[in-house]
Structure 1
Amino acid sequence: MAVSIRPLLPLLLFLIPFFYSVSVLHQKWNPEDTKKLSPKRPDQLILGPAAGQGLPNRLQCQGVRAMNKIDPSTKNSHSGDQISFVTVFTIYKSDPTNEKILDKVTVGEILYSAKSERSLAILNTYINFIQVSMPSSNVVVLTDPDSTFLLDRNNAIKLPIEGDYSRSNLMLQRIKSYIAYLKRIQESYEMEKSNKNIIFSDSDIAVVDNLGDIFQKHPDFHMALTFRNNKNQPLNSGFIAVRGTQDGISKAIVILEEVLDVYMSKYMGASRMLGDQLALYWVIKSHLPSAMQQFNRHESFTGKVKGVSVLFLPCAIYNWTPPEGAGQFHGMPLNVKIVHFKGSRKRLMLESWNFYNSTSNISNMLCLILCSGRTKYDF
């Protein structure tokens, strides 16, 4: 029995030109041509319009001139800025024969030839910003006992702690090093009778305002974390504040030890940069599920986790990350206290310090950060 194709003719008339177009496109498309057409990222900062212009409570800029930001250096300092900033840092050995010419980066008048030089420059810039914004504070660098880098800085010390600081294990080791540091402080507490408040942080941040008000405005917390409106990773492990009392230190150890246990039991297979954040989130979610509904807000709040008073602070202020290009997001909050230079933005951290060093103006430097586009080289 013959089957009539007449009902299918409209469909065939539609599909034949479509398949022909796809075939022609496939023949013409060449991945190499796509690479050739891709624009190169320039070897300099590109300034564009600052995001957030005209919005309330956002930094307003004319070029790199801040119109409504008060320079923190003009504020009266107070005892709350006497804080110990603690970071984990190590330098990985690299084969000099693999260093490419394009890996060389010039910032200002300084040429950085190797990644190890750039890493150390980032650490020193981290210390520079702390000493400008919070001159009464000190920096403790937790590191591999085999590390040979020099740290000849005022109010900054290296503190070797045994462990595995390999790239794949660094985030796990960071938690272990934090716990080891807190236990050392705990042991010496009885002799010293007092300790500075502590902020554990990544070393690729610039402190641009006094963080002492965290401890003054919120006198009852033991540990402080920063949060963002991110469903899978709402907590940022790159900033953890601990009150420097005996009770605060012991309570922080309780939380971090559970984070460590969860990391080792659940997230050892996670990406090397995610395991600690996933473990931290799991601990908070397990003991304080009500916090999940507040991560989409921009207000601080507190909660109890295993008897520990935890303060949650919005990342937009206490862990603000520059966008990957000008004109994105909603600009920079006027009360931003930390700028976090992630990934390829690390070079911008060096550029920012170079700019500040020539102008001594934090506010204008923030406009430089806000208006800057991508740079060519990854750090």
Structure 2
Amino acid sequence: MRVCSGWRRFLLCLPLIFFLPHIFSVLELHKNSTVNDLHKSHNKKFDHLVLGPAAGEGLHDRLQCQGTKALNKTHLSTSSGNFSFGESVAFVTFYAAYDSSVDRLVNGRLKDLVTVGNISYSKVERSMAILNVFVNFVQMTMPQSNIIILTDPASKLPLHRNRVSIYPIQGEYSRDKLMLQRIRSYITFLEARLEEHSQSQGHINHYIFTDSDVSVVDDLGQIFYNYPNIHLALTFRNNKEQPLNSGFIAVRGTPDGMLRAKVFLQEVLKVYGSKYMKASRMLGDQLALAWVVRSHPHFDAKRFARPQAFVEDISGASVLFLPCAIYNWTPPEGAGQFHGMPLDVKVVHFKGSRKRLMLESWNFLDSSSNISDMLCLILKSGRTKYDF
């Protein structure tokens, strides 16, 4: 059948010739605006938890959730109890006090005030709240561990907790040099501990250097118990450019372990300063870590693609590589997240804008006392950006 044959039909169809392109352009504009709206809503930060689907549904070795109720239980270990008398684990975190002058009043109220639960926080207060929750998690899972906070001598941290000590270290604490200063502070701390150890024999204190926005949800003493010959441990993920995360570094507390870890970090600092100063504010330390490890002639970087622990000799140090999926699990990014949360997860790292989720998680755990249910809350909320 012919369409629009003859002059009459041609004249009837003539308006369509002019209107169809306009209709298509309107439809295309609507399509683009819908995509843009979806993109904007995806990047929107929320001031409350938003629950979504739990990744890893149906996988036998992943946490299974129904709402915020865990259908299976995480595998918790208590291997620190296997330590011989005179061994312990201490957590060391680097903290730079926030400049309180930025918390200016706007119309008689503090700018950027954030409310979590029944408490409102300024920028300074929310930073301290994260640090306190970090302490809470460590003291819940490893109550015999001490916590050491490396910071600027000029800062006066309002933190008075049992088994928590402030360790001031002179340095450069400007925002664009923080990651450099963190490595320097680790080296200075290890040097001091080496000197102290030479004067007092006996007790061995292993150290775990972590960011303060992590939650320790299982006993980490088993790292040193299960791998008695390693000097330090790093966490890795299947990421070509940044396979190593600097937010978790474990160091054996023997003189040999601390010395080799110090030398290793000094090499990282040297590479950082010579190659990655343009990334000094962020990521430079991770890039330098990766360069030092990959530059070892016999190192096989393909091992980063498999989430299995392995040991390598790097510059004279026996280095244990631990999968981020278990020892540095990050919502929503990081190795293993898109396949859910492993049942034996030990550390959850609340990078970037997920720090509200860290506070909310502790509040939930404080009211429920169920770690597995709390992990469901994290798993189902981890893909959303929050307000700080």
TM-score band by shorter chain is 0.7 to 0.9
CA displacement 1:128-174 (0-9 Å, x = unmatched): 00000001111100000000122200111110000011111000000
59-68 vs 250-259, greater mean Cα deviation = 59-68
Matched, 1:63 2:67: yes
Q: Pick the aligned partner of 2:311 from 302, 312, 326.
A: 302
Structure 1 residue 276 corresponds to structure 2 residue 285 = yes
Rounded Cα–Cα distance in structure 2 between residues aligned with 1:45 and 1:106: 12
Q: Secondary structure at 2:104's aligned position in 1? A: helix
CA–CA distance in structure 1, aligned partners of residues 129 and 257 of structure 2? 33
Distance 1:162 1:289, change over 3 A: same
Does residue 260 of structure 1 match 2:253? Answer: no
Contact 1:208 1:336 in 2 (8 A): yes
**TM-aligned CA deviation for residue 288 of structure 1:** 4.9
Letter in 1 for 2:380: C
The alpha-carbon distance between structure 1 residues 346 and 19, as it changes in their structure 2 partners (threshold 3 A), is same
- For the structure 1 residues 144 and 22, does the alpha-carbon distance in structure 2 shift closer, same or farther, using more than 3 Å as the test? farther
Contact 2:234 2:322 in 1 (8 A): yes
Cα distance change on mapping 1:98 and 1:216 into 2, 3 Å = same
Q: Does 1:96 align with 2:103?
A: yes
| Whole-Å separation in 2 of the counterparts to 1:333 and 1:307 | 32
Q: Partner residue of 1:49?
A: 53
CA contact (8 A) 2:105 2:111 kept: no
* CA–CA separation in structure 1 for the residues paired with 2:290 and 2:48: 38
Shift of the 110–17 alpha-carbon distance from structure 1 to 2, 3 Å rule, reads same
Mark the runs of 5 or more structure 2 residues left unpaired by the alignment. Answer: 1-17
Q: Distance in 1 between matches of 2:383 and 2:317?
A: 41
Indicate if the aligned counterparts of 1:82 and 1:137 stay in contact, CA closer than 8 A.
Answer: yes
The 1:130/1:280 distance shift into structure 2, 3 A limit, reads: same
- Distance change in 2, residues 1:234/1:153 (3 Å): same
Partner of 1:8: none
Give deviations 1:194-218, integer Å, cap 9, x for gaps: 3311111100000000001111111
Letter in 1 for 2:96: T
- Mapped partners of 1:179, 1:68: distance in 2: 42
Distance 2:256 2:80 in 1: 26
Q: Any stretches of 5+ residues in structure 1 without a counterpart?
A: 1-15
Residue 376 (structure 2) aligns with: 367
Partner of 1:291: 300
Aligned-residue offset at 1:54: 1.0
* Residue identity matched to 2:168: P
1:1-379 equivalence runs, <5 A: 38-39=40-41, 41-70=45-74, 72=76, 75=78, 78-80=81-83, 82-93=88-99, 94-97=101-104, 103-112=112-121, 114-193=122-201, 194-270=203-279, 272-323=281-332, 329-372=338-381, 377-379=386-388
Instruction: Provide the secondary structure at the position in 2 that maps to 1:269.
Output: helix
Change (3 A) 1:284 1:36: closer
Q: Secondary structure at the match of 2:167?
A: strand
Residues 255 and 36 (structure 1), Cα distance of their counterparts in 2 relative to 1, 3 Å cut? closer
Q: Give the RMSD, CA atoms, in angstroms.
A: 3.0
Higher alpha-carbon deviation: 100-109 or 355-364: 100-109
Whether the 8 Å contact between 1:288 and 1:305 is mirrored in structure 2 is: no
In structure 2, distance between residues paired with 1:182 and 1:334: 33
Q: In 2 relative to 1, CA 55–185 (structure 1 residues): closer, same or farther, beyond 3 Å?
A: same
What is the aligned length?
359
In 2, Cα distance between the equivalents of 1:212 and 1:163? Answer: 31
Note the C-alpha offset of 1:221.
0.5
For residue 360 of structure 1, report the CA deviation from its aligned partner: 1.3
Q: Tell me, what secondary structure is at the counterpart of 1:150?
A: coil
The secondary structure found in structure 2 opposite 1:82 is strand
Q: 2: distance between equivalents of 1:28 and 1:213?
A: 56
Could you say what secondary structure the match of 2:245 adopts? strand
